[in-house]
Amino acid sequence: MRPEILAALTALLWAVGSYFGKRGMAQAGLAPQLGLLVRLWVSALVLLAISAPKLAELLRALREPLGRQGVGQIALFEGLIAGTLGMLAYYTALRTGELSRVVPIAFTTPLWGFLLGVLAGGEAFVWTKALGVGAVLLGIILLNL
């Protein structure tokens, strides 16, 4: 499947998850960290089940210095920073704010992805991409007026 289609599917699934996550936390009277914990438990169980046949890859990576460094980057930046701190901030905003305001602001990811890609990832600056990011940001601003 094309990466763009997967990205669009991701956005749709995350939007549905955000709606029901907010609703579920309110119905259950759960603090944001508990809503996130439920999400992570389910995710961990599903991922463990579908990753079991490939766990040898992870063990192989952990035996090599470059592999350990890569796994460490995933653990630190995806696991701790994005997956825990970022999601905890998001769940707190979701629990206390309006869905229609929180979600667009939380997903200003195109801006940050564009900047990181150009400034740190060695990607070329392309005006059409910059204009696209600007259009997304303008839409987010309009949604929050």
Q: Are the C-beta atoms of residues 94 and 32 closer than 8 Å to each other?
A: yes
pLDDT in tens, 73-124: 999 999 999 999 999 999 999 999 999 889 888 988 888 999 999 999 999 9
pLDDT in tens, 21-72: 999 999 999 999 999 999 999 999 999 999 999 999 999 999 999 999 999 9
| Dihedral Cα 127, 132, 133, 137, nearest 10 deg | 140
In eight-state DSSP terms, residue 103 is H
Return d(Cα 25, Cα 18) in angstroms, integer: 10
What local confidence, expressed as pLDDT, does residue 1 receive? 85
What local confidence, expressed as pLDDT, does residue 144 receive? 81
What local confidence, expressed as pLDDT, does residue 143 receive? 83
